[in-house]
Structure 1
Amino acid sequence: MSTDLFADLILPLPLANYYTYRVPRDFQLKIKTGIRVIVQFGSRKFYSALVYRLHENAPSGDFEIKDIDAILDEEPIIDQKQLKLWEWIASYYCCTLGEVFKAALPTGLKLESQTRISLAQDAPVPDGLNDKENSILLLLESRKTVTIQDLNIFLGQKSSLPVLKLLLEKNAVVVEEQIREGYKPRLVNMVRLHPDYNSDEKLTEALDLLKRAKKQEHLLKVFLAETIHGNSGTDEIIKKDLLEIADTADSVLKGLEEKNILQVFTHEVGRIERFENPDLMIKELSDPQQKALDEIKQQFESQATVLLYGVTSSGKTEIYIKLIEEQLKQGKQVLYLVPEIGLTTQIINRLKVAFGDLAGIYHSKFNDAERVEIWFNVLNEKPGRTGQQYKLILGARSAIFLPFKNLGLIIVDEEHENSYKQFDPAPRYNARDMAILMGNLHDAKVLLGSATPSYETYFNARSNKYGLVNLTERFQGIEMPEMMVADMQQAYKRRQMRSVFTPELYNEIAEALANKEQVILFQNRRGFAPYVQCVNCGWIPKCKNCDVSKTYHKSQSSLVCHYCGNTTSLIFRCEECGSDDIKPRGFGTEKIEDEIRLLFPEARIDRMDLDTTRAKRAYEQLIWNFETRKIDILVGTQMITKGLDFDHVKVVGVLNADNLLNYPDFRSYERSFQLIMQVSGRAGRKNKRGKVIIQTSQPNHTVIQDVMGYDYNRLFNEQMAERKIFRYPPYYRLIKIVVKHQNKERLDLAAFHLANAFKTYFNFNVLGPEYPVVGRIQNWFQKEILIKLPRDAKIQESKARIMEVINHAKSLPNNSQLMVYADVDPM
């Protein structure tokens, strides 16, 4: 191969272009497209980069071409199909390939450049050091090297760079860059027979030798009983397990090692929990389910994407399982997407019963090492090739980036959920839409499932862009729940409210508890109260970083900003007038939990929201406790609306539907209907009709009336007519331009000029600039500009013009601190 070989690399940075590096001669036979390499970028930083393209064309220009420093992979960790997907994401969502690279790979596959500090060798200690400088030198004498992060913690300050700068100028310390690999295989100690004792004759000799060493003799016999010599099917055992079974000490085993009877060795094992398949049969489908399955297969003959529009509790998951089963029999891989990590808990149990260890999970609550392990498992290049090969992956939106090679089917469950949309950082992609493109790249079928499809998806299905299959009956003929509206305004006027509960909801809860049935209470706001207020003058504590009131969390006795996380102790005296009459206003899930405990002290009550499910297994434990009837009443946010199935829920209460209906967004009616219908679907199972009580001050609202009548189509047709008139999706595409600056006046000026520039291209299809509902977050003021593009517009040309305007604005001298980005298809 020529000595002049070059590689175009993708760096995990928001850079618009590839960067070309020379491939050293020693690497030319090893390097391949899709592998990771280490390169220096800038004067001191090292990064892991991805090889995008190899060629022999030296870049032109008067600059030094850097060499690749190291190769990390023997084989590609992504292939051409993935690179095409990355390119499409970067192009469609107006971001860089580097940002896609950073989002796609698990952290454990992205090497970190950590600046480490050490003492300068053979250099005298300079005079005139201050206390901080001296303390750093003393630390380095004891620890040799430390990272900048270590120094920040040691000094108790956000940044130690100013002190380091002085020490560097005095030649007291030196800095070096250290690359570390984020993923290390998990190793366990195993025990096996020494090769000299593999025959029966030799084992007899060993037992004779140990007649006087009773503990060693016992341990050897236990080993033989637990391995292939005891018909267990294996000739090795985990060291820890062996010592526990034999109830003996490590020193006994060391004695057998010294006599060369047993060997201890390390073995690479999987981090992902295994599931013992109990050989249960996959459930047979009902007639309506079988009919829907047949129709899906028929639609797949002519359509790459099909929408399964099935009412809540219609048994869509069982249909998915049948389709997955067929794909696995053909040797294909399947990706099963869910909008929330929490949904994986219930669904994986069903999938494991059906498919055992062929099913794996991938989501952000797994640690880095676990995600890397799944990555290599799907890639079929798992380190050490240990564990079962996954053919079915259940995951949240990030699972769309996994390196599938033989994908046959993608299922997008609850496709209407906006959780499939990535908001920050870039790429701001929608996993549902990416799944459709991914299906095209892999020649795989895509099934979208929902009881309340997004209007864009349903429009595409009715327009024959997608196939459409309806499943209108609940599984086993279970009736749809009885809907009731409780007028909160009237109940308040008549003084009938018990805390936040209308008489209708209170009575239904009491009856359900008396009959040993379960209750779900939904309020889409966490915390105890949305804010606290001075009764005397009306003052409300606001976040110092954001233009929003702080939420009162009673359990922490604190006020918390849900945008930036800023937390302060609960205020007992008004900062404006000095009054001590401070009252919480409104109610969140924490208050509902408190109030329901007072009203029903004998009931077992728990809460499901972000505050109670932060731990890795917390959500799973809550689900398990509710499934096994250890909880009578479950209070929660929209987490409890998303596709969970419980057998004994009689009553669902929507505590305040008005919060949903009054949100200022063109999708608010669509989302309100979806949320209320989804949470209503949790009521009623196993021949028991459930009840849903919707508390609202607007009982005659069109959304409430359509929910009462289960009339998705009437509201859909009404909203489509409005969206067509006012140029909203699905008739127009939206691109939201977000402009941020820490100076309000500069933001106003920059946003004004940006909007005018866009208007020269897109005329009256530009709205704004306007402040959003929260106009300042983390001390960044922000404005939004909305661009509407007709469906027949040249979308790539339009985006190119948008990015041209944005890049020009950011390049102006006065705009060095300006942040601008495009959010394509905002939710």
Structure 2
Amino acid sequence: MENELELDYREQETLFIEVILPLALQINYTYRVPFELNQQIEIGKRVIVQFGKNRMYTSIIKSVHNIAPENYTAKYIIDVIDAVPIVPPIQLSFWKWISKYYLCTEGEVMIAALPSAFKLASETLVIRHPNFQLSDQVLSEKEQALINALGSDKKISIEEVSELLGQKSIYPVITSLLDKQAILLSEELHDKYKPLLKTYIKLEEFFLDIKNQEELFKQLERAPKQLDALLSYLHLSKLNPFVAKQDLLEHSHAGDAAISALIKKEVFKAERRKVSRLRANDIEQFINFELSDAQQKAFDELKKGFQKQEVQLLFGVTASGKTQIYIKLIEEILAQGKQVLFLVPEIALTTQIVERISLFFGDKLGVYHSKFNDNERVEIWNKVSTGEYKIILGARSSIFLPFTDLGLIIVDEEHESSFKQYDPAPRYQARDASIFLASLYKSKVLLGSATPSLESYYNARNGKYGMVELLERYSGTPLPQHQIISLAEASQKKMMTAFFAQDLIDKMREVLHKKQQIILFQNRRGYTTILICGTCGFTSKCVQCDVSLTYHKSTGKLHCHYCGYHQNTLNACPACGSNNLLQKGFGTERIEEELELIFPGITIDRLDLDSTRTKNSMFQIINDFQHKKTDVLIGTQMVAKGLDFDNVALIGVINADTLMNFPDFRAFERSFQLLTQVSGRAGRRDEQGEVIIQAYDAKHRILKQVVENDYEAMYNEELAERKAFNYPPFSRMISIDVKSKDQVLLHNAAKHFANQLKHHLGDIVLGPEQPLISRIRSYYIEQITLKVKREISINTVKEILMNCIKEFQSEKAFRAIKIQIDVDPY
């Protein structure tokens, strides 16, 4: 009786909910719950709400209470979508932390976190008015066609109306019919997620009897295609009575008509069944391997370290077998019934790592990254939420998945800049955010790298993290030999062919003769980086960005790598009409072309953004190289990130200067990391590999440290520089981009805003100044940087910054100015 009274009270209680809308709103909205929906309300569920005049959105319930908002009358929610919450409370706490730390809204976090199929699409539907009588009005031919299509109860979308009438401008027709009260407009919501259905064939029970089968064979003697389909089914159905129609078609070659005829004769029964879009591993395969003595020592030290500190850094040289240590740790976490998140910086890494991890853990492993479509991402989300997936391997967005009991987060190649989200907001660093996420789940974090970020190594050296070193390769193979070639000297001695010094060509010829493989690294894609007129100096630039266009031979066009703009290549200078157009700089396409001329007949492939745009192209390129179908792989940074090939004898770095001469305080650190990582792809089995680095500044200290594999020397020199000029880890940085399409207005606004900040924060405010690229997508940019010393409260600085932004944007003259904040912009 008491429970019934409580239930009745809940049904009549006036409830309000705070919801997170997928919009950049500084304050969350509150809605009222109709009494009939009270029992369905729960934190983490999706609800449909109206926001604005006509728009409806899917939002997430953040809190439930009985306090009405003070400043506006709360609207009623329209409906509750979910039977159970899709976002757990811990993840909502994580969203809140992300929004506060990275100075964005919870709506922006929601957009980044949820698969887009969970964010329902609003679509206007046209419906015939129930009281409309055709005889009451005179209709035009177009109006009559639409009314006829609607019938008495059909609903047609605006897009379908356009197709039906054969014209884009259909609003005059819609408006006219609305005036005549012939139609209504209904704003309805449609879930984008649809399960994948596959047709399966099953033999009707009557024909399972042998005698009936024999009679059927006689009947089908005159229909050989149908008989072939039946025999193929009987062969395929030995393991499972349900046979996929596609498999039956491929096996029998009978054709769709024969199978349809058997269904019509009630010999076969067709059934549509829901199937997973993901690759299934029906049988778990366990490969037993023994850790080397060095690996076992590192593994034991990590386990002891986790008893004292939640975050451990595994500093292991390239090919030291860090993945095998990860596997042993994962086994222990799974034995405790907990989940593991395995973060990798690039989708390129998942192809090989998935193969390795799945050998040990089978269908307990799920993969999550942006190359999956919406439906696949929803499936993965649901399987993580139910605990079906115990291990998730994915890129940075995987931190937002709805884990039930997270026990370990592994951040492989933790130094990689790809863990940083730059655009759009939230501009989070997945490595750093994962440490906070782990604290919510009370789980452990393992950071792994052969070239740790200075911050992580600094934290380990100062006791904030634990650290374990693994300084020998798993197979005992020595680290590769290095040779530095001076491009200046080689050019002077006329020992260059295209972009290759003679020593590099000779070594490549030797390696190819032995049937071994080569990786060439050039950190620029495309064919030619600058097209310049040799007569007047004209350079083809992007119409929206302050950058020169890159020529891509594969498309025959000039491309902007910032906004995607492209145009046809030039045959003559548009400024002076000269045909003297010079190609300056080179990318991976040009290297591929020159290499084909030097070594005709070899197989070459490229691994860069242009060659990996389709879903499976990256897997195919890596798979071909792994199976020795490709002799030379040319790539950008993608080739440096954890790929493991057993037949690579030579790494060639075409031009190291482009890395070291970049105007950024991290340029030397990143050059060391990238060159060391790409070098590590050579000689990873029984034979020592070789690395040839071409550079104009052949005596640069970073190259010397790479050759000697001296991370400590690089760390000490960089740390001294950072301390002298107050860069991280001795300070925190916040970058503020002020943007406008009006350059004069921008200059005045940026100066005004910087003075406003300096008034409150003093000399920690630097700028405004123009960044290296001062216009992107038609917006001019000026940059203000906050360099906050460790002894100053970063939260106080953030609070002052946000108040200054509110004050600045309240001024009428500056309302059109955009302000973009990036916390930890590196």
TM-score (norm 2): 0.92
1:384 is matched with: none
Match of 1:106 in 2: 115
Offset of 1:217 from its aligned partner? 8.0
Task: Quote the offset at 1:240 in angstroms.
Answer: 3.7
Map residues 12-27 of structure 1 onto 2, 5 A cutoff.
Answer: 12-27=22-37
Confirm or deny that 1:301 pairs with 2:311: no
Code of the aligned partner of 1:269: V
Query: After superposition, what is the alpha-carbon deviation per residue over 1:676-722, rounded to whole angstroms, capped at 9, x for unaligned?
Result: 11111111122211111111111121111111211111111111111
Aligned residue type for 2:742: N
- The more displaced of 367-376 and 105-114 is 105-114
* Rounded Cα–Cα distance in structure 2 between residues aligned with 1:126 and 1:783: 58
* Paired position in structure 2 for 1:716: 715
1:289 to 295, 299, 314: 295
Distance 1:309 1:778, change over 3 A: same
> What displacement does 1:409 show?
0.9
Quick one: distance in 1 between partners of 2:350 and 2:102?
28
Q: Output aligned runs, 1:425-574, within 5 Å.
A: 425-574=424-573
Q: Does 1:731 align with 2:741?
A: no
- Which whole-Å CA distance do the structure 2 matches of 1:472 and 1:211 have between them? 70
Aligned residues of 2:340 and 2:408 also touching (Cα < 8 A):
yes
2:379 matches 1:368 = no
Rounded Cα–Cα distance in structure 2 between residues aligned with 1:614 and 1:238: 31
Change (3 A) 1:235 1:796: same
- Give the match's secondary structure for 1:183: coil
- Give the match for residue 84 of structure 1: 93
Q: Does 1:60 align with 2:60?
A: no
Contact 1:113 1:180 survives alignment (8 Å): yes
SS across alignment from 1:621: helix
Mapped to 1, the partners of 2:246 and 2:449 lie a distance apart of 47
Residue 106 (structure 2) aligns with: 97
What residue in structure 2 maps to residue 410 of structure 1? 409
Whether 1:264 and 2:270 are equivalent positions in the alignment is yes
Q: Please identify, of 779-788 and 143-152, the stretch whose mean Cα deviation from structure 2 is larger.
A: 143-152
- For the 8 Å contact 2:228–2:254, the answer to whether it is kept is no
Answer yes or no: is the 8 Å Cα contact 1:119–1:141 preserved in 2. no
- Paired with 1:205 and 1:99, the residues of 2 have a C-alpha distance of 66
CA distance in 2, matches of 1:137, 1:581: 63
Q: Distance in 1 between matches of 2:724 and 2:164?
A: 58
* Aligned-residue RMSD, C-alpha: 2.9
1:213-246, Cα deviation, whole Å (9 max, x unpaired): 337788667656544xx4x2x4433344345545
One-letter amino acid of the counterpart of residue 193, structure 2: Y
The answer on whether the counterparts of 1:751 and 1:769 sit within 8 Å (CA) in structure 2 is: yes
Q: How many residues align?
A: 803
Cα distance, 1:65 vs. partner?
2.3
Change (3 A) 1:741 1:476: same
CA distance in 1, matches of 2:706, 2:81: 56
1:322-347, CA deviations, whole angstroms, 9 ceiling, x for partnerless residues?
Answer: 11112122221111110000100011
Residue in structure 1 matched with residue 753 of structure 2 by the alignment: 754
Distance 1:197 1:21, change over 3 A: farther
After TM superposition, the structure 1 stretch with the greater mean CA deviation from structure 2, 498-507 or 160-169, is: 160-169
Partner residue in 2 for 1:317: 323
Map of 2:762 onto structure 1: 763
**Which moves more between the two structures, 507-516 or 299-308?**
507-516
CA distance in 2, matches of 1:639, 1:76: 38
Question: 1:81 offset after TM fit, Å?
Answer: 0.6
1:116–1:148 contact (8 Å) kept in structure 2? no
Q: 1:211: Cα distance to partner?
A: 6.0
Q: Relative to structure 1, is the Cα distance of residues 87 and 156 closer, same or farther in structure 2, using a 3 angstrom cutoff?
A: farther
- Distance in 1, matches of 2:235 and 2:488, equals 73
Deviation at 1:816, TM superposition (A): 2.4
Cα distance, 1:162–1:521 mapped onto 2, change above 3 Å = farther
AA paired with 1:185?
A: P
Q: 1:258 to 1:558 in 2, by over 3 A?
A: closer
Larger mean CA deviation between 265-274 and 142-151 belongs to: 142-151
Contact 1:277-1:352 at 8 Å conserved across structures: no
Give the counterpart letter for 1:31 in structure 2: I
Give 5+ residue unaligned stretches, structure 2.
Answer: 1-9
Structure 1 residues 776, 654: CA separation in 2 closer, same or farther (over 3 Å shift)?
same
Shift of 1:729: 0.6
Partners of 2:517 and 2:632 within 8 A in 1: yes
Partner residue in 2 for 1:238: 244
After alignment, is 666-675 or 170-179 more displaced?
170-179
Residues 118 and 145 in structure 1, CA contact (< 8 A), matched pair in contact too? yes
- For the Cα contact (< 8 Å) 2:550–2:561, is it kept in 1? yes
Q: Does 1:335 align with 2:345?
A: no
Q: Does 1:379 align with 2:388?
A: no
Q: 2:44 aligns with which of 34, 39, 42?
A: 34
Note the alpha carbon deviations across 1:618-649, whole angstroms, 9 max, x for none.
11111011111111111110110101011111
Letter in 1 for 2:120: L
In structure 1, the gaps of 5 or more residues are 128-133, 382-388
Deviation at 1:600, TM superposition (A): 0.8
The 3-state SS of whatever aligns with 1:101 is helix
* TM-aligned CA distance change 1:98 to 1:353, over 3 Å: same
CA contact (8 A) 1:277 1:353 kept: no
The equivalent residue for 1:385 is none
Measured against aligned partners, the alpha-carbon deviations of 1:492-529 in whole angstroms (never above 9, x if no partner) come to 22222111111221221111112211111111000111
Structure 1 residues 607-646: aligned runs within 5 Å: 607-646=606-645
Identical residues among aligned pairs (%): 45
What are the superposed Cα offsets for residues 803-822 of structure 1, whole Å, 9 maximum, x if unpaired? 11112212221122211021
